[in-house]
Structure 1
Amino acid sequence: MPRRSEKTRWFLYEFWPVPAILLGYLSMRIFRLELAIEQFAIPQQDTLMIQLDQWLFGTTIPQLLQHHISATLTLLMESAYLHFYYLLPIGSLIYLHLTDDRTTFLRLRQGIVFTLTGGFCFYFLLPVEGPISFIADQFVVPLTASHEMVYDAVNSFRFAYDCFPSLHTAIPWVTLLLTWRRANYPLRFIMLAMTLAITASTMYLRYHYGADVIAGLIWAGAVSWALSKRPDIMTFTTDKAIVS
């Protein structure tokens, strides 16, 4: 029992920054921090994202995907977007805790915190509203969402300019990259499938341009690369007594 208590205390002590920073995102909406963008006249960059998509793909990815919309696929994409985004990183941290892999746990926790923090900063430097709002009139095929109330509720909690980079892309990929070597092959397949589903959902549901997603992939790769260069992440823990 003492050993289990110590393990639980360690987990709670090291895990709390993740839900804290996720709640920090909600506070951005609650305190209407998007008003700071308007106050300082920071230019909105949706037009730039559209130009990048047109240069890379001919048109925006969400507009391309609208021709493949179906009720079943929309339901699957909604599930991936709403549930997998949290399940994948938090589930991975719990798995690493249960398998006593503290080194990877700490590396992943820092990866999540760094990815989110950097992404939030970009929201203010390069504010992007997203295709679901900015070019809503250019979609000719409705999403046929099966849970409009849930969909509207999620949208009501979103920060107004939370598109660049796509953190719904960056967080799953940073989770996958930092835990790939530690997971067994069935688990790798499941994690990869979830990551791809979340990434696709961001554009299918019209939350992100293709450029947002590419930026999310680059940001996830940069954070993962930087953390992988640390020789021993355990030396950076804030509670060395518990670790030792």
Structure 2
Amino acid sequence: MRPVDRLTLGYLAVVAVLVATSPARVDGALGLLLGFGACGALVVASAALARRLPENRLVVYVRVGIFPALTLFLYPAVERYALVLRGRFMDDDINTWESWAFGGPPNVLLDSVASPPLTEAMMACYFSFYLFALLPPLWLVARARPRDAERYLYSQMLAVYLCYLGFLLVPLRGPASALSGEFSTPHLSGYGMTTLQTLIMTQDPVGACFPSAHVATAWAGLLAMRRIISPTAFYTFLPLVCGITVAVVYNRYHYLSDALAGLAVAFVATAVGRRFEPCPPPPTLHRSSPHGHLRSVP
């Protein structure tokens, strides 16, 4: 099993224990436990399939795509057990701190510069995250670099799971709800992208704010891109990731504290990821000269 397999199974074990030991405070605990078990079974099955068919390109794509796919269940599931540790939402604490640190809630301060064109640009930046999280590992597989795709995925999924656990430590409703009475414009207006992103966010789980998983995953991916793909790729996508970081606050999806915490998670995930991510395969050695010297083949 790969490091990202063990990482995912470890996360599933942790949240399963939290849910199982606090059934009275979790809505639909049995369904969650079954879901966690199904996710674990998929990870194990994909590992077994890869062992049986290691050279099959479709299997390689499945192995890469299964982890972002699991978040389609794991991310919304957080809403059902977000209060398992704290028992309450902590938006008042965050707003008190941010008002002291910044002279007012940054979300409300950004509201003063809101405009439909700016909102559309921020929504587009936010939406780009979905492609940013999936396309690089698929591109690496297409370039016959599955080990590098695994390295990229490990850093990203470590950032994701750290954020999911952070949601339980600091459960928040988010600024759109907690600060709704303080915005001069009750709803951000834009154009097509704004409408699409607003529709997507109707399914966003309550409590999934701190740290910002969007910021953490985007920066973890960008830092992985720098060492795995090229510095040029890093600098090419840097403005986009900076845009995502600003967008999560401007769009009222996260507090500034969430974004800063997400950035910290990305650097932690990168540092840990470099220690535990899959190593590149060693060079192949074979005899290729009449003198018996060994030549390295990458």
Q: What TM-score, normalized to structure 2?
A: 0.68
Query: 1:172 deviation in Å?
Result: 0.3
Q: Return 5+ residue gaps in structure 2 as ranges.
A: 1-52, 282-298
| 1:185 to partner: Cα distance | 5.1
Larger CA Rg, structure 1 vs 2: 2
Contact map agreement 2:125 2:240 (CA 8 A) in 1: yes
Residue 25 (str. 1) matches residue 75 (str. 2): yes
Aligned residue pairs, count? 227
Q: Give the secondary-structure state (helix, strand or coil) at the position aligned to 2:87.
A: coil
1:58 pairs with 93, 103, 122, which one? 103
Q: Distance in 2 between matches of 1:95 and 1:187?
A: 13
Specify the alignment match of 1:241 in structure 2. Answer: none
Greater relative contact order: 1 or 2 (C-alpha under 8 angstroms, separation 6 or more)?
1
Q: CA deviation at 1:201?
A: 0.8
| Range that drifts further, 91-100 or 202-211 | 91-100
Structure 2 residue 199 is the aligned partner of structure 1 residue 153: yes
Structure 2 distance, partners of 1:69, 1:9, is 46
Q: How far apart, in 2, do the equivalents of 1:57 and 1:100 lie? A: 48
**Identity rate of aligned residues, in percent?**
21
Larger mean CA deviation between 95-104 and 194-203 belongs to 95-104
Post-superposition Cα deviations, 1:120-150, rounded to whole Å, max 9, x if no partner, equal 2222221111111111110113522335653
Residue 68 of structure 1: aligned partner: 113
Q: What residue number does 1:166 align with?
A: 212
Match among 56, 68, 79 for residue 6 of structure 1: 56
- Please give the residue correspondences for 1:30-109 in structure 2 after superposition, counting only pairs within 5 Å: 33-34=80-81, 37=83, 42-82=87-127, 84-109=128-153
1:179 and 2:229 aligned: no
- Aligned twin of 1:242: none
Q: Offset at 1:169?
A: 0.6
In 2: Cα distance, 1:214 partner to 1:24 partner: 23
Q: Report what 1:190 is aligned to.
A: 236
What TM-score do you get using the length of structure 1 for normalisation?
Answer: 0.82
Question: What is the root-mean-square deviation in Å for CA atoms of aligned residues?
Answer: 2.6
SS of 2:260 mapped into structure 1:
helix
Say yes or no: does 1:200 pair with 2:246.
yes
Check the 8 A contact 2:152/2:228 in 1, yes or no.
no
* 1:18–1:112 Cα contact (<8 Å) kept: no
In the alignment, structure 1 residue 216 sits paired with structure 2 residue 262? yes
